[in-house]
Structures are given as C-alpha cells and as structure tokens.
Structure 1
C-alpha cells in the first residue's frame, strides 16, 4: 500500500456536507466518506498550526515533542514519519505545507550540515521534499514573516504575474473600484474575487504538483505523500467563481451565548476580548468572511475531485490508502472567538476520513466511528500500513487499523487530550504571565470536556450530552465538583505517562529484567545459594597467584 495523506489548513470538522453542513456541498470529500470510514470524534493535539502538525508528524503529544507554537523548532532528536517509514522501506514525500522550523542550533551542535541529506530531512519534518510552500508570504516593516523562497511565488512570476510578492498582490488580494490592491488581510475585502486566474490559485497549483508526483518515477516505489494544502486558512479570499457561490443567507447561525460573557474564566475572557475575537463579534464580519471561507472549501473539494479522478484513471486508487484531515478548525465567531486558540469543538475537532482499499476494510465503508481519536493515532497507523510494528515507546498514539476493519481494540482510550501554549500571545501580557506559565490543557470524554489553565484553580467544564454546543460552563458549579475532580484525575493520569524514554523499546526493557547476573553483576547476594552455576564458575576456582612484590 501507498499512503496519500491529505491535510487542509484550518478546515472545521463540521464544514463538510457529509458532516451535516446545511448549505456547503463537498461531493468529493463525501465521495471519500462513502468509500471509507469517517471518524466523528477526532481531536488535534494542539489548536495551532505548528504544534498540531508536529504532533501529526511525530506521533507524540505537544509537551513530549516540545514544538509548542508556530516557528518553535522541533528538536533534532525527535523522530518523524519519515524516520519510522524509511525503516519499513517506504519514503515520505512532502507536497505543500509543514510549518516546520528546523532546530538549526541543534544541528550545529552535532555538526550536521544543513544542506546534506540528513540536515535537509531534519529541516523538513523528516520528509523528502517534492515541493514545500507554507503559504504565508506576508511582509511588513520588520521584514517578511517567512524568509524562505516561495515556490508558489516563483510559479506566479513565471506565469507573468507582476510585483515582488504576487502571492499577496494576486492570489490573496482583490482589486477595488479605483484599481487599487484590496488586500485579503483586510477582511472587508473577503467577498471580492482574488486577483488571480483560478487555475493559477494556490489550491489548483498544489493539486497540479500532487498529480506531477503521482506521474513521476518517485511514485514507482512505496511512498507516503503528504499533500498539505494552504487553504481554507486566511486570508479569506478566493478566486472567481468561488467568491460568489455563497452569501450571508448561507451562513450558519452563530454558536454563542451571552452567558459566556458573564464572569468567564480569565483566560477565556482575555481571548474573547482580543482584537481578533472582537472583530468576529460583529455580525457583518461573519456574513462577509464565512461565504468566502465556504468558497475556499468548495474550491478545495473541486480540486480533490480532480485528484481522485486521476488516481482512478491510473489505477492508483487500488493500492493507495487515502487519509483526509485538517490541522485544526476555526471559531469564525462561535463562542465570541476568532481564530483557534481554545478547545471548543469548532477549534479542536477536525474531519478525519480514511479510505483503505483492501478487502479487510469493506465492512466499514460508508460508515462513521465515534471513538475518541487523536491526531497522533495516524503515525502508528501508517507504520502498520507500511508493514512495520509501531514503536510504542516513541509513538504515543494507537493504530486505527482495527476500527477500519470493524474491530474494537482492547482498552481504547476513554479521554482525548489537547494542549495549548499561549506564551507568545498578547493574552499572556494581558494576564501578566511569564511564557512558561501559559499552558492550557483539555481532557474530553464522549460526555464531558474540561479545560484547565496552569496557575488557575478555576477550570471550565461542559456537559457534552445536554450542552453539545459547549455554551454553559459548569466548572464553578458546586454540584459538579465531583465531575471536575474526575476529569482532573484523567488529566493527571495522562500527565504521568511515559513520554521521554524513546531510545529503548518496551521489549528491550523486559529483556533486561533479572539479567544482571548473566553479565556478572551480583547485588545483595550473601552466599552461593541461588546463584547460577555458570556464573559461579566464572567467579570461583583456585585463586590466582600474586605477582612478586
């Protein structure tokens, strides 16, 4: 089997028609759901791009791998999908975004050349790069957000698009009535068409690169291809005709309640009062942004259809597992929030569809699974697909293969975990916190969700059965003190996991039990009783003579 690992950026779990969106039609995502298994309780390990992606790529929780925010380096010693799959004879290719920041200091300390094979892989989250483009080529008075070269910008320039940054001036901006650039970073322009021909837009361009890979010699040996799209992440602007497909009448009702604004948890309150969230408090912002967001998703779906058609036309659909997911969601004004900084469902839950073409998975085609699934479960799943045994002293997730085959694994998790480090945000300044103290945790069962913040005794608690939209915080209700303690116990149990012993396996540790005497180490032994004879033979017998004084 090969693996096509498709990730969209900032795609909400409920913005697919197969997930029940009332207006947005995603027939090609639905096409995958009809061919595979759709997981309805899939959580990311952190609701921010960089930290979430590093958990997908390492199969480890955020606090285990340490890349806690965008552009926080993933330390040299962390193993990724590329490392695990190469041992199984499978190469891992990147087509698109990783938000990976290389541990340059670590490579220098170890004398690893940045431009060598090892250094290049360390800088690309373990992938071999077909094409990398992280898709945020912003620039300001202090310089560019991302100082690397943009292959997409180079493509646009070669196509005749002018300016020094056609990513912004064309693909992520429009033109106003006076012929001036209408930047997509200003959300009021979201309803305008992007100033780019649709076949040259980011989603179309990246799909072309994926098809190039599938038609190349590189695809003739076993592979995982990580097709990592840049959209529907902001800037919320989309080329024609997608800019005009939806309007304010298609915007779902906002999920928020005035009760959320009354004596909120201090961290939640600070995020709700931030500049981004305050923008989304205005109904006209949602009515402008969400139709563009839906247009971006519709464009993604159409190009997914183009890719699926190519797989079927070439027969690759029969030997390729397809996985579709997202790195996190988008509040879009729900819970008085913008962006994705906390753990409500619009932010922390993601779509997850897996299509395994092998007959073993026939029993679950077209079905849904409500098991608590985490992003880190994909890494061990991929290792098994590649024919290996997941190293469970390194990978903290569990393979999803039993679910695909209609089986229920033994002792599946009863709670999902997510973490967030807000030390680089303005909320930390507002609350007067040092970066090391800005840690948030979520623990969620199927019935309850708890959010806790380091340094705050108060927690947030939601009854997901009676309050599935998570509008009423029960964390300070004395009647729910026992439930708070129960959820905190789950979080504390998770915090005591084995996460740092990654250099030796469980089996190797078992093999060491009771083996000290076999290498001559006798501790606390009074006499010969109970000592194996072959050990005694080495440590007994006639005494050796002393040398002459």
Structure 2
C-alpha cells in the first residue's frame, strides 16, 4: 500500500456537527466542505474526548483520553512526557506545524526540572505540544490578557502593516464593531454579534490563517508535511466581517432544541450548568437570534476560504498526495437544552463533524460515502501514523486507525460505544454544587441506543436515543431503567479501566522481558536444579 506524503489537518473551533449542509443543515450551504465529503468519507457519528477546547485538542494530538494525558482543562498543561503528532511524525522527516489554535499551555515545571527553556529548538517543540509554531494563535486576545503575555501578536503586527492602528487591532477591529456615533462595540458583548466587524474581510482571522497555511505549504516545498490549520472561528467572540455578518436571516435559523420538562427537577449537575450566566443569557429571548447570523456567517466564511485553498491544492497537484481531514474540537449549545457554550454531553456539544479525504487508490471505493461507525477524536493520531507508515505505538495510543473504514472495511471488533469526559472543577457550577475540585468529574458512554452519564457523587443521566433523539427525557432516576443503568455503568467501568498507562514499554517489550526471565539468572520459586 502506498503511503500518504502530506496531511492537511483542519479543525474549526466550536463548530456543531449539524451546521454544515452535508450534515443536513437546510439553509447554511457549505459547498466546499460538501465537496470534500464527496471526495472522501463523511463520518456521521464522531465524538470528542471532552467537550472543552484544551482537553479535546490534547486528545486529538496525543491519541489518548483526557485523564490519561492529564490536560483536563484549557489551562492545565500537557505533561512534558506525553508524545504528540510531531513526536511521532518528525522522525519520518515530516515537518509538523500549527497554523492557528491549539489552546495548549507549556508544562513549565516539567521543562524547568529538565533544564529546558522556550528559546531552544526542543524547548519550543515541547512547549507547543509537538508542533512547530509556524503561526500559533489561540484567538483569545483581550487587551488585558495580551498585555500580560507581553503585548505581541503576529496577527496584530500584520494588521498594523495593513493600516489598522492601535495597541490591539485583534480586539478593536477583528472582534469589534462600530456604533453610529463611532463608539467601539465589543464582540465580547453578545448583543453586538449581528454587527459587522471593523476589519475588512480579507484581513479577518479566517482569511489570515488560510493565507498562512498556504504560505507554510509553499515554503515547505517537496518535504513531507502535516499542517494543522486550526481556525479560531466560529468560536466566540461571535463577530463576522461584512458581508458574512448578515447573510442569514430568521428564515434560516433552526429552532432551539429545548423543552420545559428539562428544567423540572433536572439532574443536579445539569441544573447547575443551566444556572450559569452564559446559559441563562442564551436562554433569554432574542439572544440566540442575535448570535446565529454571526455564527452561521463565520462558518460560511470558513467554507469559502477552504474552497480557495482546496482549488489551489488541486491546481498544484498537491491534492494527489495529501490526506485532508476536516473536524471540530466540540460543538456549541447556542441555547439548546437551556445552555450556552459546550461542556456537557448532549449531542450538540460532544458530537462533531469529521470528513476525511484519502487520495490513495485504496480509498476509491468509499468516495462520497457516509460511515455510521462510532468513532472518536483519539482515532486521528493512529490514522495518521498508519497512513504515513510510522510505527503504531499501540501500547500508548487509545484510539484506533480509521484506515480500514476509509478503504471499505469494517473490523469485526470495532467499538460499539464512544466515551467522553469532563473536569468541571473550573466552573461556577462546581461551586454552586459545593463539590471539591478533585471530585468534579463526569463521564459519558454512548452506544447506538443509550447515552449514560456518570457524575461522581450525583445521580446519573440516561437517555434512550432511539425514542428520544432530542435528549429531553432523563431516565437517570427512573426505577424502570435500573438494569439498563447497571449495564451501562459496568461498560463505563470497563472503558475507564482499559486506558493505557504503561507508556514507556511496548507490548513486545513486555513479552521479551517475560521470555528473558529465566536466562537472567534471577530464579524465583525454584526448588532444585
């Protein structure tokens, strides 16, 4: 089998699976992403390992679940010993770089212990989760935070060269509008979401990141590469440049998926999250209606720029040796289930789009098909390793390569459940529940029919997705479903205990050690020669 030379790994931030036309949105047309699906495989049931940016991305980069790799929230460092995509692919000569967001922070204590600093080549890679930071930009630069980081940002420098003045053009132009009296209207305030950003479209974050990805590919030349094009949008601040800010009117908005019954005696953890400010705000009349035009416009803008990038790859012939992956790190409630943001385990939060184009002839039979296998974000790393011919690292990786599914096969032992988890110690919901930071844990196991959620110290949640696809009726405390809960809890325990922590020795190393035991001269339990 031929090997993949290049990988374009595209991730949109906070993009719901159902806000693309190839996934069924009736009004938000995304022809370029749809065309990618026509050339590859669209996975219909793909799930992230945590519905939060940082831990979800850490799992995408390591191929390991959240409590295995330890980066449980956005500002929790990935431990220095964890291997990521760059560590696996760089020995093959693959230049592995990020353009955009990773939402990862360095393990500075670990680096200091080993005498590493961010100015050396190895220090840079360790502090940038294995990527070369070609254009690292997490897209969260309010002025006070920018000052705390030293006040520098490549995108700001570039904006100034385009004529945008001031200390922080990201904040004042790319994510702010202008009022009728010239006042600055911040994108951080949701009421301004349907106004056009002050930046010109061609200078916006999406346009800039697409440009930088193309520059990276051009500069790399014939050398193999993995480019992680990680878009900052449609994550908040929800603010789009003209003309994308008002492309989508009321006739295009999907109704909120929520029921009054959900607010009647809810699961305590779910109730605490519904009580947070962002959820109460999105539950107010008119809020989601103000946000939706920007959210949808930002997605449309990404699709337009990807169309230009895809066309360029085809014109240069690079599409013939480049695997293209399009996905998201999690969804967005947008007022569904009386919630804002993400965090919990409803489908709109934990389910993501996943489209993979494999240019090799072995994938011809599956082009334009839809795969309904249950797949997880941790499957990407083993997929990339198998595609490029890298060693499998099966003793460390917890995902499975998707290559058999891309090439028309379905292994008989493919998983029948997907797993996700949350460390909610960092939220006001945890304080409202008076839960200790070490106890704020939640775990989801979803099969074809059932979704079971275990919150440590609280009743579980259970949804029958066959009869309640909108997840309105929580059966977690219904006595009629005790047997189902017990079975799902047992399966969840199996999944939790199957995670891999012997990461420094391969399975073959274990077998070799066992074979060499007698020849070592250490004799245990022998009675006589």
TM-score (norm 2): 0.97
Q: Note if contact 1:323-1:352 (Cα within 8 Å) is conserved in structure 2.
A: yes
Distance in 2 between the 1:492 and 1:116 partners?
42
Partner of 2:85: 81
Partner of 1:475: 476
Distance in 2 between the 1:147 and 1:439 partners?
34
Q: Note if contact 1:277-1:339 (Cα within 8 Å) is conserved in structure 2.
A: yes
Change (3 A) 1:343 1:387: same
Partner of 1:413: 415
Q: Note if contact 1:6-1:322 (Cα within 8 Å) is conserved in structure 2.
A: yes
| Structure 1 residues 23-80: Cα deviation after superposition (integer angstroms, max 9, x where no partner) | 1000001010000000011000011111111110111000001001111111110010
Q: Note if contact 1:362-1:405 (Cα within 8 Å) is conserved in structure 2.
A: yes
Distance in 1 between the 2:214 and 2:272 partners?
45
Q: Does 1:494 align with 2:495?
A: yes
- The structure 1 residue matched to 2:69, chosen from 60, 65, 70, is 65
Partner of 1:184: 187
Distance in 2 between the 1:325 and 1:58 partners?
16
Q: Does 1:126 align with 2:130?
A: yes
Q: Note if contact 1:137-1:146 (Cα within 8 Å) is conserved in structure 2.
A: no
Partner of 2:116: 112
Distance in 1 between the 2:346 and 2:152 partners?
35
| Structure 1 residues 435-481: Cα deviation after superposition (integer angstroms, max 9, x where no partner) | 1111111110111101111121x111001111111111111111111
| Structure 1 residues 119-155: Cα deviation after superposition (integer angstroms, max 9, x where no partner) | 1001111011211111110134x87575573211111
Q: What does 1:362-441 correspond to in 2, within 5 Å? A: 362-441=364-443
Unpaired runs of 5+ in structure 1? 529-549
Partner of 1:545: none
* 1:229 shift after superposition: 0.6
Unpaired runs of 5+ in structure 2? none
Q: Note if contact 2:146-2:152 (Cα within 8 Å) is conserved in structure 1.
A: no
Change (3 A) 1:144 1:326: farther
Partner of 1:153: 156
Partner of 2:265: 263
Secondary structure at the aligned position of 1:231 is classed as strand
* 1:248 shift after superposition: 2.1
Partner of 1:461: 462
Partner of 1:521: 522
Q: Does 1:201 align with 2:186?
A: no
TM-score (norm 1): 0.94
- The structure 2 residue matched to 1:10, chosen from 5, 14, 36, is 14
| Structure 1 residues 179-223: Cα deviation after superposition (integer angstroms, max 9, x where no partner) | 10011111111111100110000000011101111211x242111
Distance in 2 between the 1:11 and 1:42 partners?
13
Distance in 1 between the 2:138 and 2:152 partners?
10
Distance in 2 between the 1:410 and 1:101 partners?
39
Q: Note if contact 2:93-2:223 (Cα within 8 Å) is conserved in structure 1.
A: no
Distance in 2 between the 1:143 and 1:306 partners?
31
Secondary structure at the aligned position of 2:92 is classed as coil
Distance in 2 between the 1:100 and 1:410 partners?
36
Partner of 1:445: 447
Distance in 2 between the 1:89 and 1:481 partners?
54
| Structure 1 residues 157-180: Cα deviation after superposition (integer angstroms, max 9, x where no partner) | 121101211101100010011110
Q: Does 1:511 align with 2:512?
A: yes
Change (3 A) 1:469 1:312: same
Distance in 2 between the 1:418 and 1:145 partners?
33
Change (3 A) 1:146 1:19: farther
Distance in 2 between the 1:56 and 1:315 partners?
28
Secondary structure at the aligned position of 1:227 is classed as strand
Q: CA RMSD in A?
A: 1.2
Change (3 A) 1:283 1:248: farther
Change (3 A) 1:519 1:223: same
Distance in 1 between the 2:147 and 2:471 partners?
38
Secondary structure at the aligned position of 1:513 is classed as helix
Change (3 A) 1:144 1:333: farther
Change (3 A) 1:486 1:47: same
Q: Note if contact 1:38-1:352 (Cα within 8 Å) is conserved in structure 2.
A: yes
Distance in 1 between the 2:92 and 2:411 partners?
24
Q: Does 1:210 align with 2:213?
A: yes
Secondary structure at the aligned position of 2:373 is classed as coil
| Structure 1 residues 473-504: Cα deviation after superposition (integer angstroms, max 9, x where no partner) | 11111111111111111110011114211000
Distance in 2 between the 1:145 and 1:95 partners?
22
| Structure 1 residues 491-539: Cα deviation after superposition (integer angstroms, max 9, x where no partner) | 10011114211000011111222421111121111122xxxxxxxxxxx
- The structure 1 residue matched to 2:56, chosen from 43, 48, 52, is 52
Distance in 1 between the 2:464 and 2:165 partners?
54
Greater C-alpha radius of gyration: 1
Q: Note if contact 2:383-2:403 (Cα within 8 Å) is conserved in structure 1.
A: yes
Q: Note if contact 1:137-1:145 (Cα within 8 Å) is conserved in structure 2.
A: no
Secondary structure at the aligned position of 2:405 is classed as helix
Partner of 2:363: 361
